[in-house]
Copies of this chain bind each other. A is one copy, B any other.
């Protein structure tokens, strides 16, 4: 099977644990059956055949309809059984209820893949859900892979397969998978307007009943005609698997994702703070970026970014030089660049000296470079500036901003020749330099010749400064990603401890989570710095606390599996000094706990010195139903609760990822020290993050971890409270990348799937 697919696709397997995509044969079909072919020009059974004929499809077409002899000059067959070969692809245009029967026929005929256009499945309720399950069952029995149902269809322009009969799309390097057919149409219209962007394959994944985003991504990754993969995603079915595949594709090919549902509000109840914050749009974006995916937040920017990445691939870093022919737009570009998290390159003195040689005295030589009229009579100076600036070691990418291409329109037609020579110089530059150049022009919409030349030579030309900056942002983000994965940084393994495994077994048997001291023991066992503390089970043992901690102010906390919110039960007493204070606190805690829950099983109290003040953070892990184990870090207290200032990474993660989480926090300045405080020990925090991730990997019984707060100091940290939630039997979580896809059938691909499960 694998060798056949390898032969089909001309590709050897390069995605770990997966054969080359089975979709190559289906999406590059040599034969296509149109089931439900129709002579009615408003029906998909007509337009699909029209699309094939008009595109000049070279394979065999079989319109299936007992009432037709031919359709658009193509001989029709009455039934599937009349087709003389096992076709690669069947497009099924008939209603939902006909599907089980038709798919059985497809299986018998040896059809490799079927596109099901019909709606009326799980999205309509229970009966539809049953029908969908039945369809999948029949397809599996017959070895037919399903695209859809409820899909807008597919095209493969390089194969001249255009089942959408979409006009005015040209073959090119942009592969698209979109859960919205309108989004594809919008991209097609934008590409038509741009005039240079073309497409490879489009698929609408529909309900993802069988084939899902991961499969399509793998196909686009392997497809030699696809230079950039673009995905419009409402919901992932198996996000963990998607990330695994994405992580292997992004080093070779840019992947652009627009994820909808950015303002959806999670409504689940959660067992931990971390749990309450996970599952968000922001989490999905963090995890996708961790896997090297370029996430765009504005749908307008999907096509410019995809095009830019396809043409330029990457910038080596974040330092941008701006060359402009006017101060106003230079400032706009600079504002957007800094807002995007990029930096303005600091040009060296020798670069400035060389610029001074070619520019008028009133030019501004610092970045942004403003040629201040030099180009109005001598447009070629812009190419000179580009070359000079590109040689500066502090420059990772260049943006040209202003009127280039339109000087002959605005000033004097005689400038046309100079503009074309300038374009030629820029093209020569781009062919040798690894410093990407993004050209913005006020005149881009008019497509003057100099800009046409640039575009034909594969240089992006933008009518919008804002889009140009988004292209630079993604180029730079991709470059930084590619640099970092060159140095692999595996997560250190943690050897599970036998006695801790026993603690888990006991807790799970009792249907409870780890008690606070058990969780802290787990952490201590594996080298995490947890504050010293003492478990005391009766008042007569309180003297031990004095013996151990002296007259330091102490904190006392109730230990009970039945008391989740200790403070609410009066179960936390602070600042206790001396035996008498401890005894009084102990009595109060016992009384409070019994009042709070008379049935509560009280294990004892935990006594520890009050933590020194420092910077509070929260470190947590959740088992996300879509993405599996995910690490979360945030600044403590109000920062987490009000500002939702947290960062996520999928586990396993690298130290680079961990540092990236800290850099990403809006309140990161707190870690650097505010109000005269010294900076905290970020290395120690990263150690903690890595250790917690490793512990979670080594103990499959862990469902969630919530270290809140962890107090950071200039040297080291202290874990002050720790909750470790165990996996109960009813946690049917889809966290295993080896999980069968059938598990995902519950999630419906709708935007809410990510949040509500």
Please give the residue numbers on chain A whose beta carbons come within 8 Å of chain B beta carbons, in ascending order: 41-42, 119, 124, 167, 178-183, 185-186, 189-190, 192-193, 232, 234, 260-263, 298-300, 325-329, 331-332, 334-335, 338-339, 362, 377, 402-403, 406, 409-412, 442-443, 445-446, 463-467, 638-639, 641-643, 666-667, 669-670, 674-675, 751
Contact = CB atoms under 8 A, between A and B. Distances in A.
A325 B445 CA distance: 29
A263 B339 contact: yes
A234 B299 contact: no
14 contacts: A41-B412, A119-B362, A124-B362, A182-B402, A186-B442, A262-B335, A263-B335, A299-B465, A299-B466, A300-B464, A638-B670, A641-B669, A641-B675, A643-B643
A558 to B, nearest CB: 18
Contact of A643 (B326, B411, B446, B667): B667
A674 B638 contact: yes
Contacts of A465: 299-300
A178 B328 contact: yes
A158 B545 CA distance: 89
Given A119-B362, A641-B674, A669-B642, A445 B182 contact: no
Given A42-B411, A189-B443, A189-B445, A183 B329 contact: yes
Contacts of A339: 262-263
A642 B42 contact: no
Nearest to A675: B641
Contact of A442 (B124, B182, B335, B446): B182
A186 B298 contact: no
Nearest to A373: B119
A751 B331 contact: yes
B260 A185 contact: no
Contacts of A300: 464-467
Nearest to A615: B638
B180 A328 contact: yes
A261 B335 CA distance: 6
Given A189-B442, A300-B464, 4 more contacts: A182-B328, A299-B466, A641-B669, A642-B667
A182 B329 contact: yes
Contacts of A299: 329, 332, 465-466
Contacts of A325: 182
Contact of A326 (B180, B329, B377): B180
Nearest to A667: B642
Contact of A232 (B178, B189, B328): B328
Contacts of A406: 185
A403 B185 contact: yes
Contacts of A180: 326-329
A183 B328 contact: yes
Contacts of A193: 445
Contacts of A189: 442-443, 445-446, 463
B641 A377 contact: no
A472 to B, nearest CB: 15
Contacts of A409: 167
Given A189-B442, A442-B186, A442-B189, A328 B412 contact: no
Contacts of A674: 638, 641-642
Contacts of A41: 412
A756 B669 CA distance: 24
Given A300-B466, A464-B300, A465-B300, A260 B332 contact: yes
A189 B451 CA distance: 15
Nearest to A259: B335
Contacts of A119: 362
For the complex of A and B, the 8 pairs showing the least CB-CB separation, nearest first, are: A180-B328, A182-B326, A263-B338, A260-B331, A262-B335, A186-B442, A642-B669, A193-B445
Contact of A670 (B186, B446, B642): B642
B260 A328 contact: yes
A234 B186 contact: no
Contacts of A642: 667, 669-670, 674
A538 B410 CA distance: 79
Give the one of A332, A467, A643 with max B CB within 10 A: A332
A483 to B, nearest CB: 25
A163 to B, nearest CB: 14
Contacts of A181: 326, 328
Contacts of A192: 445
A620 to B, nearest CB: 17
B442 A334 contact: no
A452 to B, nearest CB: 16
Nearest to A409: B167
A326 B334 CA distance: 37
A221 to B, nearest CB: 23
Give the one of A124, A180, A638, A675 with max B CB within 10 A: A638
Contacts of A234: 327-328, 331
A264 B306 CA distance: 30
A643 B442 CA distance: 36
A328 B442 CA distance: 31
Nearest to A187: B442
Contacts of A467: 300
A670 to B, nearest CB: 6
A30 B183 CA distance: 53
Nearest to A411: B42
Contacts of A179: 328
Contacts of A403: 182, 185
